[in-house]
């Protein structure tokens, strides 16, 4: 087990919960993430969400039950409607952050290859994590007024980072937090593209592979060699921090959700994707693959 602390209205963590495999599994399903987006910061009932997402009522109820079992949503009220009673659900918490020290507590920090160590430096230094994982806010925000739904992926990145370094401090932040506090000076891992993560948008053009679409919804990634617009294309990139040459920025994002999933899967295989790293700016373009035919990304291939 490891712990996450709930982030409440005032942005302060007030309690810590053990996170089970059920939670991770529930958040790894794209349909369930779509349901959470529909619920948003308000409330909704399964039949209503089924209609909005084009699901059967039976399938909607199945996913609502999984989210409730994982303690992610809870019943908020019931209302009589024609044909029966509608039970409304709401999110139990708007956001989570990971206490990375809990991930590797009691475990030795894993040995790291020379190239991966150089790639992660100075984010990881002598077994310590010196930076933050930044995800988009689940509330409407930024110039395009969108809600991010990539927050759960910070957990997967945290698990990978936790293999190489630990910290006793909170190490995951919302993009809105960084803008509110003007706290951009750290080593940062930016999760999600320019549409949902405003910090990614701030530093986007500094990366050697970056989002290049000029207008909403920015569905394009450009490299020195090519331009990609497939939904399942993602990028893992590193660059020097433009505000402090002794720090670094990392980008883990995709053109759409499938691409971000692919990028996260690639990041979870750092030893493989950084084996040819030799310093400076770096990137890998990956394509998400559905190997088991269930309509969801479960693997990836490097395309550049």
How is the chain split into domains, by residue range? 2-91, 98-302
CB atoms within 10 A of CB 20: 13
pLDDT of residue 109: 45
Identify the CATH class of 98-302: alpha beta
pLDDT digits (tens, 9 = 90+) for 246-274: 999 999 999 998 999 999 999 999 999 99
Strands 172-174 and 132-135: parallel
Find the helix packing angle between 257-267 and 153-161, rounded to 10°.
10
Residue whose entry in the numeric block shows the structure tokens 């984010």: 123
pLDDT of residue 213: 72
Query: Is 76's pLDDT higher than 60?
Result: yes
Alpha helix locations (H) across 121-229?
Answer: 153-161, 175-181, 198-203
Strands 210-211 and 172-174: unpaired
Average pLDDT over residues 177-185: 91
Selected residue with higher pLDDT from 151 and 70: 70
DSSP state of 118: H
pTM exceeds 0.85 for this model: no
pLDDT of residue 41: 65
Tokens in use for 301? 């291939």
Tokens in use for 275? 């084996």
pLDDT of residue 203: 97
**258/230 Cα distance (integer angstroms):** 10
pLDDT of residue 13: 45
pLDDT of residue 142: 83
DSSP state of 166: B
Average pLDDT over residues 123-128: 83
CB atoms within 10 A of CB 275: 12
Query: Is 18's pLDDT higher than 70?
Result: no
CATH T-level topology, domain 2-91: Arc Repressor Mutant, subunit A (1.10.10)
pLDDT digits (tens, 9 = 90+) for 148-178: 877 778 778 887 887 787 776 778 889 999 9
Query: Is 210's pLDDT higher than 70?
Result: yes
Average pLDDT over residues 180-187: 91
pLDDT of residue 246: 93
DSSP state of 110: P
Q: Which residues contact 248 (CB under 8 A, 6 or more apart)?
A: 121, 122, 123, 187, 238, 239, 240, 241
pLDDT digits (tens, 9 = 90+) for 93-125: 655 545 444 444 444 445 678 899 899 999 988
pLDDT of residue 110: 52
Average pLDDT over residues 142-147: 82
**278/266 Cα distance (integer angstroms):** 18
Tokens in use for 281? 């700016």
pLDDT of residue 14: 46
Average pLDDT, the chain: 83
pLDDT of residue 123: 92
Task: Please report which confidence band the pLDDT of residue 11 belongs to, taking 50, 70 and 90 as the band edges.
Answer: very low
Cβ contact 73:67 at 8 Å: yes
**185/198 Cα distance (integer angstroms):** 15
**234/114 Cα distance (integer angstroms):** 25
pLDDT of residue 146: 83
Query: Is 64's pLDDT higher than 50?
Result: yes
Q: What percent of the chain has pLDDT over 90?
A: 42
Strands 188-191 and 132-135: parallel
Residue whose entry in the numeric block shows the structure tokens 């919804």: 217
Cβ contact 189:123 at 8 Å: yes
Q: Which of these ranges, 81-90, 105-114, 187-196, 199-208, has the smallest mean pLDDT?
A: 105-114
């Amino acid at each position: 087990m490891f712990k996450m602390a709930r982030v409440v209205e005032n942005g302060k963590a007030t309690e810590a919960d053990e996170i089970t495999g059920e939670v991770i599994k529930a958040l790894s399903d794209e349909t369930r993430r779509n349901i959470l987006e529909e619920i948003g910061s308000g409330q909704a009932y399964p039949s209503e969400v089924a209609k909005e997402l084009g699901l059967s009522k039976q399938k909607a109820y199945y996913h609502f039950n999984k989210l409730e079992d994982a303690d992610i949503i809870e019943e908020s009220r019931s209302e009589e409607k024609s044909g029966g009673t509608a039970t409304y659900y709401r999110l139990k918490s708007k956001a989570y952050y990971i206490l990375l020290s809990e991930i590797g507590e009691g475990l030795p920090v894993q040995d790291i290859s020379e190239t991966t160590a150089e790639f992660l430096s100075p984010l990881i230094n002598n077994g310590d994590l010196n930076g933050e994982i930044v995800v988009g806010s689940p509330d409407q925000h930024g110039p395009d007024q969108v809600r991010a739904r990539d927050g759960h992926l910070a957990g997967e990145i945290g698990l990978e980072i936790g293999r190489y370094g630990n910290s006793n401090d909170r190490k995951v932040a919302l993009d809105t937090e960084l803008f509110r506090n003007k706290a951009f000076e750290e080593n940062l891992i930016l999760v999600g593209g320019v549409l949902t993560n405003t910090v990614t948008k701030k530093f986007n053009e500094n990366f050697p592979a970056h989002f290049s679409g000029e207008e909403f919804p920015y569905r394009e990634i450009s490299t020195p060699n090519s331009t990609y617009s497939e939904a399942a294309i993602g990028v893992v990139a590193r660059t020097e921090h433009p505000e402090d040459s002794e720090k670094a920025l990392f980008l883990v994002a995709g053109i759409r959700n499938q691409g971000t999933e692919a990028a996260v899967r690639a990041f979870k295989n750092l030893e493989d994707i950084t084996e040819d790293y030799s310093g400076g700016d770096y990137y890998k373009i990956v394509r998400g693959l559905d190997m088991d035919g269930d309509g969801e990304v479960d693997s990836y291939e490097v395309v550049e």
